[in-house]
Structure 1
Amino acid sequence: MSENGTERGYSLARRFPDGAVRRGALSRVMEDWREEERWLFFSPHDDDLAIGGGLLMAIASAEGVSQRARIVTDGRMGYTSVTGADEIVRVRQEETAASFQVLGVEDYAWYGYPDSQLHLHLGRRAAAQGGQGDPHGVAGFCGLQNSCTAELRSFRPTRVFIMSSADYHPDHKLVHQEVLISLFHAGGDIWPELGPPLEETPRVYEIAAYCPFVEAPDLEIRAGAALFEKKIASIEAFASQAQIAHLVEGLRRGGPVEYVRTFPFTFYDSRRYEALFSPEGG
């Protein structure tokens, strides 16, 4: 492989705060690259990752990065005809399998939370007796924070990818906030039945599918025609979604490019603000 990945039909670039741009392979543009990278993607809906990160996932697959995708909702609200409402969950699962096959992603699963009803499944609570009515139970508990914390401790990722908090869909916003608090939980001693705490906090990134980022992204992925068509094919696998053709048309206008934003996930430290009140700062 060439230093910048062009022999495989793509180029990557990272923009630094001072305006400098570094180009090269994943190992060059991603901070703190590990010999064994493990990427965990939390997707509110089954088609979000292909739309916002299909190029990135395909490149990571080609580079041998271990990837896991977890789809939070069941897609039950995605039907476009009354007669298809009863079958849409099964149909979308079949479409997801086809989409991820195109991208080279083998490790994927659904939590099964009801589409557009995530507000009813925030946090963590004891599972109902026998698990009846709980979409995704782990260690006798359910709720999105339980699911995400267990996943983080099980997979122990080096990097976590979530959809941008700016996306209009409430499911996107709620998954975003629940993953972030779950990262806090996963690194602590709370809820030991979900596994041992993370020794290190993974880096966090945002992907955009429908709306602009809150702040400018710092990673760019540009693809050649073959790789771009692979992404398009992974999106077109969701044939049950009537808006897909319109979406693909918009992606083609934008060209074979994706952007990713490194999310500034950190914890409170009062020293961050001391300079604002020092004599020199005033």
Structure 2
Amino acid sequence: MKALFFEPHDDDLIIGAGGTVIQMLEQGWEVRTVQMTDCRHGSTEIDPEELVKIRKEEKEGEIEFLGIECDFLDFEDGSLRELAEENPEKALEEIKNRLQDFRPDVVFMPGLDEGHPDHRGTHLLVSQAVDETGLEVLKISYLVWQLPFLEGENRIEKVLEVEVGEEVYEEKLHGSNNEISEALGMS
């Protein structure tokens, strides 16, 4: 089985679905991730070009730890919602290429109701790209910042909770330790 994760930023996979990824890998799944943005606007203290390098190095540490592959699409941080709504062609082409090359059984993306515009944009773009490819694939939204128990209009329709044991939890924490800049307040 194959799973393809789409994450707006370098830390979204490990925060939102790290336990799921670890369990899938332990069960023999082939897992890949696609980082949508270059993460350049995650700090007011660090030069954007320097931050791109820092975040890419952090991501490389994370994927090495997990033993998975990552494609970097490098769209400008903060642009995905607008891109999805106004000029989606290039992003859709990039996403569809990844989908058709890897041919996943399951595609994971942030939930539509996530508060960050890059998270919502990623959801819109990936969902549309999956539909346009015609691939029969299960689409699952994962949560990074949205709370699953909200009521009303913004209620997320599907929430997948994955029970992780202490060992998997420790591995997830180790993987998130690669996100050093987050701990330094450069989110």
Q: Shorter-normalised TM-score: what interval?
A: 0.7 to 0.9
> Equivalent residue for 1:155?
102
- Distance in 1, Cα, partners of 2:159 & 2:48: 40
Alpha-carbon deviation of 1:53? Answer: 0.4
Q: Identify the residue that residue 115 of structure 1 maps to in structure 2.
A: 77
- Over the residues paired in the alignment, what is the CA RMSD in angstroms? 2.0
Identity of aligned residues (%): 28
Q: Specify the SS of the correspondent of 1:223.
A: coil
- C-alpha contact 2:113 2:156 (8 A) present in aligned 1: no
Residue from 45, 50, 68 that aligns with 1:81 = 45
Residue identity opposite 1:239 in structure 2: I
CA contact (8 A) 2:111 2:156 kept: no
Where does residue 169 of structure 2 map in the other structure? 228
- 1:240 to 2:187 alignment: no
Counterpart CA distance in 1 for 2:167 and 2:103 is 32
Q: C-alpha separation between the residues in 1 aligned to 2:116 and 2:67?
A: 27
Partner of 1:55: 19
Q: Which amino acid aligns with 1:111?
A: L
Distance 1:175 1:218 in 2: 17
- Structure number with the higher helix fraction is 2
Q: Which amino acid in the other structure matches residue 163 of structure 2?
A: R
1:149, 1:209 → 2: CA distance? Answer: 23
**Does the 8 Å CA contact 1:166/1:212 hold for their aligned counterparts?**
no
1:55–1:223 contact (8 Å) kept in structure 2: yes
In the alignment, which residue of structure 2 is the partner of 1:39? 3
Gaps of 5+ in 2: 149-154
TM-aligned CA distance change 1:96 to 1:149, over 3 Å:
same
Larger radius of gyration: 1
2:67 to 104, 107, 122: 104
Q: In structure 1, what residue type is equivalent to 2:79? A: Q
Deviates more, 1:233-242 or 1:110-119: 233-242
Is the 1:123–1:178 contact (alpha carbons within 8 Å) kept by the matching residues of 2? yes
Please report the TM-score for the alignment, with normalisation by the length of structure 1: 0.59
Tell me what 1:182 maps to.
129
What is the CA–CA distance in structure 2 between the aligned matches of 1:218 and 1:93, rounded to whole Å?
29
**Aligned partners of 1:230, 1:173: CA distance in 2, in Å?**
28
2:58 corresponds to which letter in structure 1?
A: E
Shift of 1:218: 5.1
TM-score (norm 2): 0.86
Distance 1:243 1:151 in 2: 32
Q: Are the aligned partners of 1:55 and 1:221 in contact in 2 as well (CA < 8 Å)?
A: yes
Return 5+ residue gaps in structure 1 as ranges. 1-36, 125-142, 188-197, 248-282
Structure 1 position 120, deviation (Å): 4.0
Greater relative CO (CA pairs within 8 A, separation 6+): 2
User: 1:161 offset after TM fit, Å?
Assistant: 0.3
Give yes or no for contact 2:141–2:159 (8 Å, CA) kept in 1.
no
Kindly provide the CA deviation profile for residues 14-50 of structure 1, in whole angstroms up to 9, marking residues without a partner as x: xxxxxxxxxxxxxxxxxxxxxxx11111111111010
